[in-house]
Amino acid sequence: MATPTPIPAETDFRHQSCVYGSDAEFLAMAVPFARDGLRRGEPVLVSTTEANQELLDDVLGADAGRIIQVEPACFERRPPQLAAALHRYWTRYRSSAPGGTVRVLAEPARVGAADWPRTEAGFNVSLAGTGIWLLCPYDTRKFEAGAIEDACRAHPELLVGGRIEPSAEFTVPERAGGVPLSPPPPGEAADIFRFEGDLVAVRRYVLEKAGPLLQPENAVAMFGIAVGEAITYLIEHGIGRAAVWVRPAAGRVVCTLHSDEPLDLPPFFGSRPPDLRCSDTGLWLTDQICEWLDISSDSSGCTIELATPGSWASEN
């Protein structure tokens, strides 16, 4: 068995990836990680495949009962929900954990989804300041080379042969890729609503466009709330005009808001839980409601795009 994984020198959020290609390599990574945590009195949470969990249980024996086991489906939640769940886990156990450190071994459940690289990169921002040590195994028998490359870019550190090494391919969060924005194609400009401060009118437009595409009625209302918060955010930051466009795309109902005025946005805006002591809670509610949210801004202006599954998506 591999030597114990070295303990990080600091207790801030640690985000590591480990690539493996056999059962033996999985155990050589997972067993020391779990045993070291248990020995130090640190809570250990594991979410992996059923086969890997059985392998780990067999080796750990009685110690397996001291590990918190979580079904992989729990890690299929949307990025802000997943980050919030990990944050709650740390908050619950940090007072009793040495140094406030809790360990999580989580085999990615959503690799292959277009937004998963952004989810992984977003953890570096949304979980910063916590004592979570998050280790993400990637099975080369299951994931393509592109997913492994994305993992190296999203994780500051790699676990290689029981040693922690910096990832040479790591991309700082500000430059991590996101869901590509989709401007309206030529010929559809007539469907664009020109918002100039009339909140009632833009809400009516959104509900009229989204209504036939969403079921049940509460889905339409929630989508309207999400778009309304995005519009309100623009207004609160001095932007009173925007083009608004609602349409179906790839099984989703998508709304794009674009203004020629730029916004000063921090990295991964919307990924952090809101500070309820502050009046500016950003677009957290919008990000909770929608399947995904993407925001960009540069000298040419800003764009907010959000989407939710259409009523026809489950039929495909």
The predicted pLDDT at position 266 comes to 56
**10: pLDDT confidence band, cut at 50, 70 and 90?**
very low
Count: domains in the chain: 2
pLDDT (tens digit per residue) in 76-128: 666 666 787 888 889 888 888 888 999 999 988 655 555 566 778 888 888 88
Residue 143 has pLDDT above 90, yes or no: no
Show the domain range for 141: 14-175
Residue 243 domain-assigned (yes or no): yes
Residue 295 domain-assigned (yes or no): yes
The dihedral of CA 48, 51, 52, 54: what is its sign? positive
The predicted pLDDT at position 276 comes to 41
Choose the weakest-confidence range: 54-63, 110-119, 196-205, 272-281.
Answer: 272-281
Considering the domain architecture, whether residues 131 and 79 belong to the same structural domain is answered as yes
Considering the domain architecture, whether residues 299 and 162 belong to the same structural domain is answered as no
Q: Supply 90's token pair.
A: 């740390």
Q: Supply 188's token pair.
A: 């559809």
Measured in degrees and rounded to the nearest 5, phi and psi for residue 218 equal -65, -25
Q: What is the CATH number of the domain that holds 209?
A: 3.30.565.10
Residue 267 domain-assigned (yes or no): yes
Cβ neighbours of residue 127 closer than 8 Å, sequence gap 6 or more: 13, 15, 83, 86, 87, 134
pLDDT (tens digit per residue) in 219-252: 999 999 999 999 998 998 899 999 999 988 878 8
What does the alpha-carbon distance between residue 203 and residue 207 come to, in Å, rounded to a whole number?
A: 6
The more confident residue out of 248 and 5 is: 248
Can you give the pTM of this predicted structure?
0.62
pLDDT (tens digit per residue) in 158-205: 999 889 999 998 887 654 444 444 555 444 555 789 999 999 999 999
Q: What is the CATH number of the domain that holds 104?
A: 3.40.50.300
